Amino acid sequence: MANSTDQFSGEAHMKKSIPFSQIFLTALCAALMLLPAACKPAGAPAGSPPPGGGAKGPVPVKIGEVAQQSVPVQLAAVGSVEPIETVQIKAQVPGQVMEVRFKEGDLVQKDQVLFIIDPRPYQVALKQAEANLSKAQAQLEQAKAMTARDRAQAERLKASFARDKGLADKNMLSKEEFDRSRADFQAAEAAVAADEANASAGVEAIEAAKSTIDQAKLQLEYCTITAPLTGRTGAVSAKAGNLVRTADAAPMVTINQITPIRVSFSVPEKRLSELKRQMAEGTIGVDALLDGDATPCSGALSFVDNSVDATTGTIMLKATFENTDSRLWPGQFVRVLVNVSVLADAVVAPGKAVQMGQKGPFVYVVTADMKAEMRPVKTGSTLKDMTVILEGLKPGEKVVTDGQFATAPGAEVKEATEAPAAVAGPAAAPAAGAPAK
Over the stretch 61-83, which tens digit does the pLDDT of each residue have? Answer: 999 999 998 888 888 899 999 99
User: In the structure, what pLDDT confidence band is assigned to residue 199 with cuts at 50, 70 and 90?
Assistant: confident
Packing angle of the helix pair 120-169, 175-222 (nearest 10 deg) = 160
Report the chain's mean pLDDT, rounded to a whole number.
83
CB 297 within 8 A of CB 323: yes
Position 128 in a domain? yes
Position 28 in a domain? no
Looking at the structure, tell me whether residues 100 and 59 fall in a common domain.
no
Looking at the structure, tell me whether residues 106 and 251 fall in a common domain.
yes
Q: Which CATH number do you get for residue 340?
A: 2.40.30.170
Which of 36-45, 175-184, 316-325 has the lowest average pLDDT? Answer: 36-45
Looking at the structure, tell me whether residues 100 and 126 fall in a common domain.
no
The C-alpha angle 104, 106, 111, rounded to 5 degrees, equals 110
Does 22 have pLDDT greater than 90? no
> Distance (Å, rounded) from C-alpha 415 to C-alpha 408?
15
What's the pLDDT tens digit per position in 245-266?
999 999 999 999 999 999 999 9
Position 11 in a domain? no
Looking at the structure, tell me whether residues 98 and 161 fall in a common domain.
no
> Distance (Å, rounded) from C-alpha 349 to C-alpha 401?
9
Q: Which domain holds residue 59?
A: 52-69+345-432
DSSP summary character for residue 422: P
Looking at the structure, tell me whether residues 105 and 252 fall in a common domain.
yes
**Taking Cα atoms as reference points, which of 161, 143, 154 lies closest to residue 202?**
143
**Taking Cα atoms as reference points, which of 135, 98, 129 lies closest to residue 115?**
98
Among the three residues 173, 205, 222, which one is the final residue of a domain in this structure? 222
Looking at the structure, tell me whether residues 385 and 243 fall in a common domain.
no
Burial class (CB in 10 A: 0-12, 13-18, 19+), 370: middle
Q: Which CATH number do you get for residue 400?
A: 2.40.420.20
Does 141 have pLDDT greater than 60? yes
> Distance (Å, rounded) from C-alpha 215 to C-alpha 172?
65
Position 37 in a domain? no
Looking at the structure, tell me whether residues 96 and 233 fall in a common domain.
yes
Looking at the structure, tell me whether residues 310 and 357 fall in a common domain.
no
Q: Where are the alpha helices (DSSP H) in 284-336?
A: none
Looking at the structure, tell me whether residues 360 and 405 fall in a common domain.
yes
The C-alpha angle 282, 283, 285, rounded to 5 degrees, equals 140
Q: CA-CA distances (angstroms) from residue 55 to 10, 48, 52, 379?
A: 53, 14, 5, 32
* Number of separate domains in the chain: 4
Q: Which CATH number do you get for residue 242?
A: 2.40.50.100
